[in-house]
Amino acid sequence: MSRTPTDAGLAADVPGSRVGGPGGGSRREVPGAELSIVTSGLTKRFGSGQVAVDALDLAVPSGSVFGFLGPNGSGKTTTIRMLLGLVAPTAGEWRLLGTPMPGGVGGVLSRVGALVEGPAFYPYLSGEANLRRYDAADPSADPRTVSTRIGLALERVGLAAAAGKRYRAYSLGMRQRLAIAATLLGPRELLILDEPTNGLDPQGTREVRGLVKEIAAEGTTVFVSSHLLAEVEQMCSHVAVMRTGRLVAQGPIADLRASETVRIRVETPDVEEAAAVLAGLGLPEIRLGDGDVSAALGAGLPERVCAALVTGGVAVRGLAVQRPTLEDVFVGLTGEGFDVDG
Amino acid sequence: MSTVSGKEAVSTEKATRAVPDHDPARGRDQAMTAGQAAGGRPIPPPRAVSAPRAWLRLLGSEVGLTFRRPRNLAMLGVLTVIPVLIGIALRMFAGTGGDGTGAPMIFERITGNGLFLTFAALSLLVQLMLPVCVAVVAGDSIAGEAGIGTLRYLLAAPAGRTRLLAVKYACVVVFCLAAVTAVALSALLVGLLLFPAGPITLLSGGTIPFLDGVLRIGVVVLYVTAGMAALGAVALALSTLTEVSVGAIASTVVIVIAAQVLRAVPQLSVLQPYLLTEWWSGFDGVLRDPVAIGDMGQGLLVFAAYAAVFCSIAWARFTGKDITA
Ligand SMILES: Nc1ncnc2c1ncn2[C@@H]1O[C@H](COP(=O)(O)OP(=O)(O)O)[C@@H](O)[C@H]1O
Ligand SMILES: [Mg+2]
């Protein structure tokens, strides 16, 4: 049996994966859905014996904003280094934009913009000269358009005014922006961004999120790693979760959310009566609290529940529909809180 | 636990292709290239760039970087100043006690003809100063990029490992030529300013016209450049072994010094023909008539062998290396 994952095999082999739950089945038949990144059994064992990435099967659909989530040390950067051909995998195969790697590195990477483990530039050169240097390294970049392309990239990340300043004098946020500008030097089909908001203030973080969405809207696939759940939740359509080198879950965010049940919570002094009404409506998993009752809402409509409570003479002080946060999902998946180093 | 609504989930059918929250006006139908999107300024469609042009462009970038680096400029500056100091010293002490107790033959002749200052300066600086400068540039070439992390971005560009290494070595050779030329030009100028010029009396006794002498300086410059380029290959190989450029530079300098020490031990004379350092100053032949090319030819063979062996080592190491910096 071939280990190459196809669209149909989205995370099917991953133990504990919630993908393929409710609604997951329909995606398997989506015709012509291409994958920008596919890995199969990708593994990296460092000389020290440390297994940084363990049999990773990723499938990143073209056109998605794909969040690659995991605590520090979970193997995100190592995976990205392998994807770019910087580090040779101990085992496994991968394709970028449909091309088998690492054989296709020379042809494919020109169409891929990458930010790997933070910015790195020549301190004694200006921001603009630094971008020119990286552009010169790309054999397919057209030297006649380099100034225009650099100008546009700097404008996009808001660095146009600091273009002539030496990199040494850049603040951390400016450095991060310059690294993002370097990924936008050419028309890219895929952006690989390793923790792009590291070192940015809240305003800068918002700008990067906006930029990622804008780039994705142009049809570029964005693969973005992060250790911040909230960040992935706010900009991604898909997510994969890493934990100590292993993939714990992968799929569209909506599917992951759907895998955790929506609950309805009633604040009331009449706890017993409220519970009886909820049970009468056929809602499962009823939990009684101190001054509140909650139950799994399932396909039930909150307005029906509300009406039934009022008709049943329950004094309703508050009514809330609790949609699971991704954090709830991940706590369910991994058994612990998320922002914990692995 | 709070009530979290979040963004209403995108319909599952769209989720594989669409992005949440994006402005529908900029949908996929109006997909723009990354370049056009920002300011609406058009960029001509990328034209295929020929491989040799791409090579030259990267080499140009590399050479530009090398010769803009303050440290490298400072080294070239020092190399330029030393012949001036030698010239001034010789000029000042020439009249006084200058009956040369064991001074090298070439030095004695400088006061008679300024052209000899060039030969003297090169044979002096080729022992340590030039090798140290070459070690700094070549030892830093890969390790320095790895150290500041730019190596991963060059390779992701993608520069190509073989292409990048070849360009790095070509740039080292260019720097060797620049360093040797800087010494030669400075010595030539100072020699002509401070000492008499004219037809040259060779070591073998004959006399050649002045311009012929300048031509022979050109030959020496190329020979010394070849010797330095061979050392550059050694430093380049060491540079692929580490992410700390000081390590590669220091080990190259240690190798040079060790070779100079081995040269000085008479019991190890069997080793001497294989030492790089043994051949660096072996350009006396151009000061004879006819030019004694035997020694220089053998020197060039040794340089070529060193360059081939160490470039191969560098290539084997660099193309198989994990870039984790
Ligand atoms: N060059 C290396 N040698 C040995 N171990 C490494 C190396 N690089 C990373 N690791 C280890 O691999 C694991 C994954 O690291 P990394 O991919 O950087 O994680 P992340 O990017 O998710 O924070 C960590 O435990 C780290 O210590
Ligand atoms: Mg990382």
pLDDT per position as a tens digit, B209-268:
988 899 999 999 999 999 999 999 999 999 999 999 999 999 999 999 999 999 888 888
Q: Is A77 in the pocket of ligand 1 (CB under 6 A)?
A: yes
Pairs of residues, one from chain A and one from chain B, whose beta carbons lie less than 8 Å apart: 213
Euclidean distance between the first and the last CA atom of chain A, given in angstroms as a whole number: 33
CA distance A178 to A166: 12
Interface test with B, best of A90, A111, A122 (most B CBs within 10 A): A122
CB contact (8 A) between residue A138 and residue B159 = yes
Helix (H) or strand (E) segment spanning residue B73: helix B70-94
Query: Which residue from A221, A133, A117 is spatially nearest to A175, judged by alpha carbons?
Result: A117
Q: Looking at A63-201, list the stretches that DSSP marks H as alpha helix, in order from N- to C-terminal side.
A: 76-83, 105-108, 127-137, 146-156, 172-183
The ligand whose atoms approach the alpha carbon of A246 most closely is 1
Residues 115-154 of B with CB under 8 A from A: 148-150, 152-154
Q: Please list the residue range(s) of chain A that carry CATH number 3.30.70.980.
A: 261-323
CA distance A322 to B186: 81
Higher-confidence residue of A281 and B18: namely: A281
Q: How confident is the model at residue B166 (pLDDT cuts 50, 70, 90)?
A: very high
Q: Collapsing DSSP states into helix, strand and coil, what is residue A63?
A: coil
Q: Is A186 in the pocket of ligand 1 (CB under 6 A)?
A: no
DSSP string covering B187-255: HHHHHHHHS--SSEE-TTS-EE-HHHHHHHHHHHHHHHHHHHHHHHHHHHHHHTT-S-HHHHHHHHHHH
The ligand whose atoms approach the alpha carbon of A76 most closely is 1
> Half-sphere exposure of B319 toward its Cβ, with a 13 Å CA cutoff?
14
Beta strands A35-45 and A59-61: pairing type? antiparallel
B52 C-alpha vs ligand 2 centroid, how far in Å? 36
Mean pLDDT for the stretch of residues B81-107: 71
For B71, other C-beta atoms within 10 Å of its C-beta total: 11
Answer whether A274's CB lies under 8 Å from A282's CB.
no
Look at residue B94 and tell me whether its pLDDT is greater than 70. no
Looking at beta carbons, which residues of chain A come within 8 Å of B324?
81, 86-87
Q: Is A24 in the pocket of ligand 1 (CB under 6 A)?
A: no
Closest CB to A136 among B57, B149, B158: B57
CA distance B313 to B309: 6
Answer whether B169's CB lies under 8 Å from B318's CB.
no
A194 C-alpha vs ligand 2 centroid, how far in Å? 7
CB contact (8 A) between residue B158 and residue A255 = no
What's the token pair of residue B189? 């100028």
**CB-based contact, B35 to chain A, within 8 Å:** yes
**pLDDT at position B47:** 65
Alpha-carbon torsion (A14, A15, A16, A20), positive or negative:
positive
Answer whether A186's CB lies under 8 Å from A110's CB.
yes
Which of A201-235 are b and which e, b meaning 16 or more Cβ less than 10 Å from the residue's Cβ? Answer: eeebbebbbebbbbbbbbbbbbbbbbbbbebbbbb
- Distance of alpha carbon A72 from the chain centroid: 15
**pLDDT at position B104:** 57
**Ion ligand 2: residue ranges with CB closer than 5 A:** A 77
Mean pLDDT of chain B: 84
Closest CB to B158 among A110, A133, A136: A110
A84 C-alpha vs ligand 2 centroid, how far in Å? 14
CA distance A225 to A239: 9
What's the token pair of residue B193? 């300013």
Q: Which atom of ligand 1 is least distant from the CA of B324?
A: 1
A69 C-alpha vs ligand 1 centroid, how far in Å? 15
Task: A269-274: list long-range contacts, CB under 8 Å, 24+ apart.
Answer: A269/A315, A269/A317, A270/A313, A270/A314, A270/A315, A273/A312, A273/A313, A273/A314, A274/A309, A274/A312, A274/A314, A274/A316
Report the CATH fold assignment for A8-258. Rossmann fold (3.40.50)
Query: Which residue from A21, A121, A25, A101 is spatially nearest to A58, judged by alpha carbons?
Result: A101
Beta strands A263-267 and A292-296: pairing type? antiparallel
Q: Please list the residue range(s) of chain A that carry CATH number 3.40.50.300.
A: 8-258
CA distance B185 to B217: 10
Q: Please tell me the least confidently modeled range out of A111-115, A141-145, B1-5, B98-102.
A: B1-5
**pLDDT at position B243:** 93
Q: Collapsing DSSP states into helix, strand and coil, what is residue B113?
A: coil
Pick the most confident of B47-51, B107-111, B288-292.
B288-292
Q: Is A78 in the pocket of ligand 1 (CB under 6 A)?
A: yes
The list of chain A residues with pLDDT below 70 reads 1-33, 331-342
Q: What is the homologous superfamily of the domain A261-323 according to CATH?
A: YebC, transcriptional regulation domain (3.30.70.980)
pTM of the model: 0.82
Query: Which value does ipTM take for this structure?
Result: 0.81
Q: How far does A280 lie from chain B, in Å, by closest CA?
A: 24
What's the angle, vertex CA B249, arms to CA B69 and CA B222, rounded to 5? 70
Which one-letter amino acid corresponds to residue A314? Answer: V
CB contact (8 A) between residue A258 and residue B149 = no
CA distance A272 to B208: 118
**pLDDT at position B196:** 86
Nearest CA to ligand 1 atom 21: A77
**pLDDT at position A68:** 95
Task: B103-108: list long-range contacts, CB under 8 Å, 24+ apart.
Answer: B105/B203, B106/B287
- The backbone region for B160, taken as left when phi is positive above 0, alpha when psi lies in -120 to 50, beta otherwise, is left
Three-state secondary structure readout of B293-307: HHHHHHHHHHHHHHH
Q: Please tell me the least confidently modeled range out of A53-57, B198-202, B303-307.
A: B198-202
**pLDDT at position A20:** 36
Look at residue B76 and tell me whether its pLDDT is greater than 70. yes
**pLDDT at position A150:** 97
Ligand 1 probe mutation, A44, A78, A86, most atoms within 8 A of CB: A78
Q: How far does B21 lie from chain A, in Å, by closest CA?
A: 8
CB contact (8 A) between residue A122 and residue B3 = no
What's the token pair of residue B261? 């020490």
CA distance B181 to A298: 82
